[in-house]
């Protein structure tokens, strides 16, 4: 069964008198454990598709199914619940909560899920080590570098062991060394936990890790190519 299924998705945006096509009848199936890169030039529709899959935005028409449940017609609370329990997000611009420390940011999703404090602390300590941030757990985002912040964001996305990780340009603000570490972490999670990864990128380094490249152009899927990862 597909982990993610999009059927005939359409989404347009209106900027004054101008109508911009975000998605133009996009259909895609992504199976559990796949490692997919959505590749497109700016405005090609990759972030729009990612947002639709994550339930962050509603398509004008079409259907989105996650783990066998249709989500495009869900209410706000049900969508929030679905995101909380199924999807981990990694955004381009780190997006940490500035008033929380690194550890609190990592534990945030688990705390909202209602996981007991002792379990949260154990899991956050382990993931901090895994992403190489031990010793920085009590720092707030403003006191961390961009790479460190992105690793906290990644740790937050994966610590609750979601079925799916959606990442939008996760390496855009990272140097090559940090980007490589991040991608190795993604691959390891994908292999060890069978987590499905969908990454929107135009970074060639990221594409090399993918087992499937979906190229988009003007809101449509132009090419869908399986490949041998690095």
Partner 1 sequence: MIAIIFRLAWRNLWRNNRRTLIMLVTIAVGIWAMIFMTALMRGMVNKMVRDAVKVLPGHVQIHHPDYLDDPNIVNSIEEHPDGILLQVLNGPDIVAWSSRVRVAAIISSARESRSITLLGVDPATESEVSFVAGKIVQGSFLNDGDDDGIIVGRKLTETLETGLGKRIVIMSQDPDNEIVDRGFRITGVFDANTEALEEGYVFTGVTAAQNFLGIPGRVHEVAIVGRGFRQIDGMYQAVKNAAGPNFSVLPWTELNSYLGTMLGVMDGFVLVWFMVVFLALSFGLVNTLVMAIFERVREIGLMLALGVKPMIILAQIIVESVCLLFFGALTGNLVAWLTIRPLQDGIDLSSYAEGLEMFGYSTILYPEMTVEDVFTANVVVLSLGIIASLFPAIRASRYQPVEALIKV
Q: Which residues bind partner 1 (CB under 8 A)?
A: 51, 54, 56-57, 76-77, 80-85, 87, 89, 91, 95, 97-100, 104, 108-109, 111-114, 156
Q: According to the 3-state scheme, what is the secondary structure of 22-86?
A: EEEEEEEEEECCCEEEEECCCCCCHHHHHHHHCCCCCCCEEEEEECCEECCCCCHHHHHHHHHHH
Minimum distance from residue 162 beta carbon to partner 1 (Å): 10
Minimum distance from residue 204 beta carbon to partner 1 (Å): 25
Cβ proximity to partner 1, 109 vs 179, nearer residue: 109
Cβ proximity to partner 1, 199 vs 210, nearer residue: 199
**Dist. CA 34–CA 23, nearest whole Å:** 22
Cβ proximity to partner 1, 4 vs 210, nearer residue: 4
Which residues contact residue 229 at a Cβ distance below 8 angstroms, ignoring those fewer than 6 apart? 35, 187, 208, 209, 210, 211
Cβ proximity to partner 1, 23 vs 210, nearer residue: 23
Cβ proximity to partner 1, 15 vs 77, nearer residue: 77
Minimum distance from residue 99 beta carbon to partner 1 (Å): 4
Minimum distance from residue 221 beta carbon to partner 1 (Å): 21
Minimum distance from residue 169 beta carbon to partner 1 (Å): 13
């Amino acid at each position: 069964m597909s982990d993610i299924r999009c059927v005939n998705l359409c989404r347009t945006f209106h900027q004054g008198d101008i109508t911009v096509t975000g998605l133009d009848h996009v259909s895609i199936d992504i199976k559990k454990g796949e490692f997919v890169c959505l590749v497109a030039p700016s405005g090609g529709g990759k972030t729009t598709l990612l947002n639709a899959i994550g339930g962050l935005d509603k398509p004008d028409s079409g259907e989105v199914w996650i783990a066998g449940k249709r989500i495009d017609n869900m209410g706000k609370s049900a969508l929030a619940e679905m995101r909380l329990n199924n999807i981990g997000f990694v955004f381009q611009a780190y997006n940490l909560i500035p008033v929380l420390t690194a550890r609190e940011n990592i534990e945030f999703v688990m705390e909202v899920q209602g996981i007991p404090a002792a379990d949260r602390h154990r899991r956050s300590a382990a993931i901090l080590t895994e992403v190489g941030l031990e010793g920085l757990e009590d720092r707030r985002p403003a006191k961390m570098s961009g790479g460190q912040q992105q690793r906290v964001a990644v740790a937050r996305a994966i610590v609750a062991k979601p079925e799916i990780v959606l990442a939008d340009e996760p390496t855009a603000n990272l140097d090559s060394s940090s980007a490589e570490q991040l991608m190795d972490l993604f691959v390891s999670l994908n292999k060890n936990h069978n987590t499905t990864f969908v990454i929107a990128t135009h970074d060639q380094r990221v594409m090399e890790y993918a087992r499937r490249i979906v190229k988009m152009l003007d809101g449509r899927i132009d090419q869908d190519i399986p490949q041998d990862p690095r």
